[in-house]
Structure 1
Amino acid sequence: MTTRALPASTPASQGVEASGIHAFLDALETDPDIEPHSLMIMRHGRLVASGWWAPYTAERPQLLYSLSKSFTSTAAGFAVAEGLLRLDDPVISYFPELDADVTDPRSRAMLVRHVASMASGHEAETVERARALDPDELVRGFLRLPPEHDPGTVFAYNQPTTYTLARIVQRVSGQSLTDYLRPRLFDPIGIGEVAWLRDRAGRELGFSGLHATTDAIARLGQLYLSRGMWDGRQVLPESWVAEATRLHTANDQGPMGGADWRQGYGLQFWMSRHGYRGDGAYGQFCMVLPEHDVVIATTAATVEMQRMLDLVWTHLLPAFGPAPLPGREEADAALAERLAGLALSPAAGKAAPEEWSAVSFGSDGISAEVIADPDGHRLTLVEDGHRLELRLADSGWSVAEAPVPTAVSGGWTDADTLEVDVLFLETPHRLAVTCSLPDRTCTARWRTQPLHPRPLSAMGAPRRSV
């Protein structure tokens, strides 16, 4: 389908000070622990600022990690509206084949609303224990783990709860999450192609693994901000928006430990010090601020997620004024120019030494082969027999689409050392590779550790088979 662009406006006409957005960009770009990839800001239903740090681009999907949960919540909302599931049904009632396996009374008392609100009664994450109990059926493994408390009484950020919710939606609809959401959510609000990682049984994960554009994040946030309305049509029931974004489960400690992870949890949405949000590991955010009529969508690579939110509260919130701002044309134009030119600095390095043409670097993990040619040199990374061939130009980022979208930069930092950064452009992840010429060794280090281990050649959005 052809996606219609979001309605756009200048910041000043929507009461937004360009200087506040500049200050936020300055803070992001000078923080050594935050690598920003994209930013979109909606005010009063208008896109007032958007930018992508090259080589990241607007049309490229990103791995959203746990921001996927908010899309799963939306699927559950449609299923509730259609009478396919009820929040106060026991979870076990949707899995009658597991009835004999699940004997613990707390597990049997667990309701759909409990798994939707991270209140299964477990004290901590259960995903590894559940997989150990049943590698092929995570729901069975999860329900066989007796909760330490009554369901609905304690909070624990717990992947199998969302996986179970997703399984229920897929079971009652007879479709994958993607196929179920396409005519109900994606098409009505203009979200283009998405892709979802699947488990070993071929089921979409639900709790993570969705790849979608920053634009898709912004559209989801705007739908919720508008109480389910889109272009004058009630796409998502207003009752679900209210239910999903209110406090269901109080919590003293979230997975990130910061203040914005201690404000409580809705139905696959976090409560924030300001508004509410969906979020995913390493800075994938959908922030909805009803008090300011604002949606902020970001993608990034950082472990300092609380710091990233703090920068939003410090720099962006004061920029949202109550009325249009006259005489700001030059400021808005300067901001638009800056946003159009955002870029990540390539890794430093010089061209290959002239005295060699090919060399291999050994490693216990990822090894490398480098071949010099007139256009720069080719770098091949080898991991468990999987080969990923990359082109390294003499300067800047070298972008390739196959076998997986990447951007490569770097070179020789001295006569003996080759340092290369590889961005996997459909993920938040950057691989730093260092090769030593004297001892022919290679080290490879992730700046942010992938949470879904895959071969390097598959570090991107899953492609649908034709």
Structure 2
Amino acid sequence: MKNKLTLFFLALSLLASATVSAQIRELERSTPEAEGVPSGAVIALMDSLMGLPKTDIHSVMVLRHGKVIAEAYPAPFAPEYRHTVFSCSKTFVGAAVGLAISENRLRLTDRVASFFPDQLPDSISANLADMTVRNLLNMTSGVTPDWNMRNVRTDWIKGYLGKQVKVPGEHFDYDSMSSYILSAIVQKVTGMKVLDYLRMKLFEPMHITDISWEASPEGINTGGWGVYIQSESLAKFGQLLLNRGVWKGKQLLPAWWVDQMMAKQSDTGSFGYGYGYQMWLCEYPGAIRMDGALGQYVLIIPDKDMVVVITECTLIDGATQRRLVWNRLLPAVTGDQPLIAGKDYKRLQKKQSSYQLPLVQGKASSSLVGEYADKSIMLEPNKFGWQSLELHFKQKEVIMTVTETNGTKYDLLFGYKQWKKASIEGYPPYSIEAKGRFNGIEGPFYVAGSYAWPSPSTLELKAHYVNWITALNLTLRFDGENVQLTVKENYSSEAKVVKGKVLFIFAPN
């Protein structure tokens, strides 16, 4: 085991080094004060984000004038790790549509039904016939969202087009499947997946190389979700939009299209401040954002010439995080003149490198360790596909061997008062249950763990899937032959708590 772990960490180090040299730290770095931002305001933002309840911050990047002036990756996260960004993916679809329009492959007024003649229902309603590309872009398709459809069928285009359609253009209904249909249309008119099209048009010129995108059972990038990308690449894309499509002096994305993406195209009523083309308008005047589930944001703030990227795992309202940017950071940015760096800048440097997510609290060991070490614990059926667990106790370290129902087997490492990392052969738990999920996403996935014994009969473990998004809080309660496992996923509500009776296959000593 020791030799295997040593080889793993050596391989991981080499992989991280290669990734760092190839992808991250490519944006120019500067100091807050050099770009007219007081470090104290950045500290106020970072500390406030780190203090939010039911929230794990994974990364924060602050850019001004195209330069990174602050960034934090609280341990166990790191800049080289990619992250799934959920509905931030929609904005990439919006960019692809604009590029196709600029090449005369597509028009806003094109009828959606015309692209899929072989997948239409037997009877085409007038409303379906009237639905346009623009209706998909601004979420006014007339189709009532059906978030379960992708979970139960594989023919998503046919399923979507078979829905009842209200009058297009009249009502805003946020729907990831509208973005999926846009992805399918771009693939139809370009002959390539959206990811490949954007690689050619945007990502290669911007050197965004470490990116993947989930694909549907129909072989189409999922559109409304599924982009898997590093934070710095998100920052690059946000900067491209802030620059109205210009990257290093070249117009990669038409300025007129960026303007349309970032302008109000739909009235969302009480649900936000308006919607553009696959982007949200913000409460701060003139700001617009890419926005993904569980707290993935790229905030574009033209009047301050700033971009702020936040990736996290949270269950609180995202307006809270955005208010911290508006209220803690932006009021202090009053001009472009350089400021004098002082003690706050030194504090910021120290804080950025020392932020850490909470470790599990309790004792390092228990009198029960000898009784339960190296024994197989057979689990009842559960959503994670875990068939059995084995616990191996080392000095200030727990190794939990997971065997999945499909036979996959791997170790999760948990450190005492520190994070321990390992790779897994399988896939992380995922809040999206779409057919074909993870198709197009490469492993391995890395998991960082912390453990402690809050009482002699209770072992608590925290696992962060650091190059994904998921966090698991696991509690094992030992009582003779019986062990109860409780799992909470991503600060889940009570409805998402997984409780199972764990059955031993041994007689305790």
Determine if contact 2:176/2:223 at 8 Å carries over to the other structure.
Answer: no
Q: Deviations over 1:141-200 (max 9, x none)?
A: 11111223x111110011111000011111211112221111211111221211112222
In structure 1, the partner of 2:340 is 327
Aligned-partner Cα distance in 1 for 2:178–2:253: 23
What is the deviation of 1:221?
0.7
The one-letter code sitting in structure 1 at the alignment partner of 2:147 is: V
Query: Which residue among 15, 31, 46 is the counterpart of 2:36?
Result: 15
Aligned-partner Cα distance in 1 for 2:81–2:187: 27
What is the deviation of 1:411?
2.6
In structure 1, the partner of 2:147 is 127
Question: Which shifted more, 202-211 or 157-166?
Answer: 202-211
Question: Which shifted more, 29-38 or 323-332?
Answer: 323-332
The one-letter code sitting in structure 2 at the alignment partner of 1:180 is: Y
Aligned-partner Cα distance in 2 for 1:100–1:378: 54
SS state at 2:27 partner = coil
SS state at 2:68 partner = strand
- What TM-score results when the alignment is normalised by the length of structure 2? 0.82
In structure 1, the partner of 2:117 is 96
Aligned-partner Cα distance in 1 for 2:120–2:142: 19
Tell me, yes or no, if structure 1 residue 407 matches structure 2 residue 448.
Answer: yes
Determine if contact 2:235/2:307 at 8 Å carries over to the other structure.
Answer: yes
Q: Deviations over 1:232-290 (max 9, x none)?
A: 11111111101111111101143xxxxxxx21111100011121001101111011011
Q: Deviations over 1:34-53 (max 9, x none)?
A: 22111111111111111111
What is the deviation of 1:99?
4.3
In structure 2, the partner of 1:445 is 488
Aligned-partner Cα distance in 1 for 2:176–2:263: 20
Q: Deviations over 1:20-68 (max 9, x none)?
A: 1111122112222222111111111111111111111101100100001
Determine if contact 1:88/1:111 at 8 Å carries over to the other structure.
Answer: yes
In structure 1, the partner of 2:309 is 297
In structure 1, the partner of 2:16 is none
Tell me, yes or no, if structure 1 residue 281 matches structure 2 residue 322.
Answer: no
Determine if contact 1:131/1:141 at 8 Å carries over to the other structure.
Answer: no
In structure 2, the partner of 1:463 is none
Tell me, yes or no, if structure 1 residue 344 matches structure 2 residue 360.
Answer: no
In structure 1, the partner of 2:435 is none
Query: Which residue among 65, 70, 83 is the counterpart of 1:44?
Result: 65
Change (3 A) 1:373 1:17: closer
- What TM-score results when the alignment is normalised by the length of structure 1? 0.89
Tell me, yes or no, if structure 1 residue 312 matches structure 2 residue 334.
Answer: no
The one-letter code sitting in structure 2 at the alignment partner of 1:125 is: P
Query: Which residue among 119, 131, 139 is the counterpart of 2:157?
Result: 139
In structure 1, the partner of 2:275 is 265
Tell me, yes or no, if structure 1 residue 230 matches structure 2 residue 251.
Answer: no
Question: Which shifted more, 319-328 or 294-303?
Answer: 319-328
Tell me, yes or no, if structure 1 residue 181 matches structure 2 residue 192.
Answer: no
The one-letter code sitting in structure 1 at the alignment partner of 2:165 is: P
Tell me, yes or no, if structure 1 residue 424 matches structure 2 residue 485.
Answer: no
The one-letter code sitting in structure 2 at the alignment partner of 1:158 is: D
Tell me how many residue pairs correspond in the alignment: 440
What is the deviation of 1:444?
1.3
Q: Deviations over 1:71-102 (max 9, x none)?
A: 11111111111122111100111112234535
Change (3 A) 1:434 1:331: same
Query: Which residue among 381, 384, 388 is the counterpart of 2:402?
Result: 381
Identity of aligned residues (%): 29
The one-letter code sitting in structure 1 at the alignment partner of 2:423 is: E
Aligned-partner Cα distance in 1 for 2:449–2:296: 22
Tell me, yes or no, if structure 1 residue 171 matches structure 2 residue 171.
Answer: no
Unaligned segments of structure 1, at least 5 residues: 255-261, 454-466
Aligned-partner Cα distance in 2 for 1:449–1:181: 35
Aligned-partner Cα distance in 1 for 2:465–2:211: 17
Q: Deviations over 1:349-394 (max 9, x none)?
A: 4334353322444344255321224573321234544544212234
Aligned-partner Cα distance in 1 for 2:34–2:269: 40
Tell me, yes or no, if structure 1 residue 433 matches structure 2 residue 451.
Answer: no
Change (3 A) 1:436 1:54: same
SS state at 1:358 partner = coil
